[in-house]
Structure 1
Amino acid sequence: MKFIETKLAGVVIIEPKVFADDRGWFMESFNEPLFHQQLAEFGHPIPRPFVQDNHSCSKKHVLRGLHFQRDPHAQGKLVRVTAGSAYDVAVDIRKGSETFGQWLGVELSAKNGRMLWIPEGFAHGFLALEDNTEFLYKTTDIYSKACEQSINWNDPAIGIQWPVTEGLIISQKDEEAPLLSQVVSSVSVLTGNVTSSELQVIGDDRGSLIALEQGRDIPFDVRRAYYIFNTKAGISRGSHAHFRLEQYIICLSGKCRILIDDGVTQESIWLDAPNKAIHIKKLIWREMHDFSEDCVLLVFASNHYDEGDYLRNYDDFMRAVKRYA
């Protein structure tokens, strides 16, 4: 496979190698280790696992889009055409991105076998160029009606140069979709921030209790939990950021200082009571200092351990903030 970077950071064209003879042809359409390796070499985040496949068939001049899903079900898409041909479009809707509002168009067809990787933070649409155009795509999250949103295919501020503009077949929903300027305030994909909170203590003369509920207190699906203890005096921990992982941290015993850095400002937050918690979203540099001898930190994480999601070098973190935040 050949991987080609585009002008939109994160969007990648993939050209498979086709082996053909008088019997027909064969090609490898997806190879996860190679896919991850190439994205990492380009300096792009490793996506979450693909969890859903979609397959559509469209008449000539059917236009679908521009579609995206908001958090917590934002989707990355690996798209290809298995019959016919389509003009496929990605639009950068990442707030703060150097290419915000810019678009990329690529012709995908059964003949050229090209695929397009469109990460979270982009709106997507396509125009069928032939009858019976079959479009197949893998997504990193399931479809969520509550999170789906559209941007008008003909938004003049974006200025997509579709190959055809007359006689298009467009759903009423897509035709009436709002402009990018009207939906941008709801777009939050790779924007990091930190939220502090005080947990409700339930207690009487026997003692105290704190209850944590997923979806209420912990604002994401928990896929991993761990705790840090017996940290030696003078030792600091952390010194990394994550492309996508979110964490919810509570100090069950003792205290420590959490240094938070979003690439613009730094702040120190003391966790020194079991009813204090912080929610650290993606693309936030964090360091943990000044551990007391009895400190126990409990961490809930939004995903399983994945070394590819880590940014362990501060310069790499700053480059990621400028590119993706």
Structure 2
Amino acid sequence: PVLAAGGCNILLDGAKAPQISATILNEGITASFMPPTLIYSLIDHANAAGIRYTGMRHLIYGAAPMPMARIRQAQEVFGPHIAAIYGQTEAPTMISAITARELAQDENIESVGRPCPFNDVQIMGPDGTILPSGETGEVVIRGDLVMRGYLNRPDLTEQTIVDGWLHTGDLGSFDERGYLFLKDRLRDVIISGGFNVYPADVETVLASHPDVAEASVIARPDDYWGQRVEAAVVLRQALPRENWARSAPPRRSTSSPRCRSARSARSRATACCAWSNSLNEGAPARDTARSRMDTLIYPVSTSRG
């Protein structure tokens, strides 16, 4: 599309935030697609350098969710030009999309938009029932552009495509306007004390702290809860080891947490940890961190309840 419109594509090989920032400013870049982690790096670089990317007219992110606090920061640094797409390779790349104008509205900031043309997107319950607006289930899709199966893997095809519906493995819900809101990956849902805990909810709360650059949450086995919630955080500025808090003794609460709220998300973050290095700028933060939680180096706080 850029070349067809008479534009110019600029390709950078292995560039970091300072080089990308300089290219945006010096070359007059007006449009780009980036994963959230790269946007985070550019936000932090821009704030440290006191610059803004006022020439950017279209910045689309995808490949991983972006917390609400980070979206607002991006809108401040790049202007109200942030749009998002949601998709996967098995589907037609874009399952849904949201424009910058829509994303600038408070009620849409956590949405991935509305289904793209030629897609039939629904929310399905565990029993295969299509769920109404407001109810959370697995995002499923069908249409002429959806893949017919995995090459030479009929077993995976049978698991993924059932009765014509491609199962994305993502949990989400539609609101009454038809906007799609994602909760988490189906396989990442944590069942702690009988309650469903969505790692993305906890990550959003952690990421809202001004000192936290990135956060990622997984489950650990727990004799009391069945599963406990653990988080890896990357701070914006490194702290000396002597400033790290020591692990507090575990405590148990007899009260039941309320689900699907920020309060619940905070209460379920049972073990926050510091990570030795920042996450890979080129990879989705959540998938990278969740797959490498064994590299956590030091627990900074522990609580239950």
User: Scaled by the length of structure 1, what TM-score is found?
Assistant: 0.22
User: Scaled by the length of structure 2, what TM-score is found?
Assistant: 0.22
For the pair shown, the structure with the greater C-alpha radius of gyration is: 1
User: Which structure is higher in RCO with an 8 Å CA cutoff and minimum separation 6?
Assistant: 1
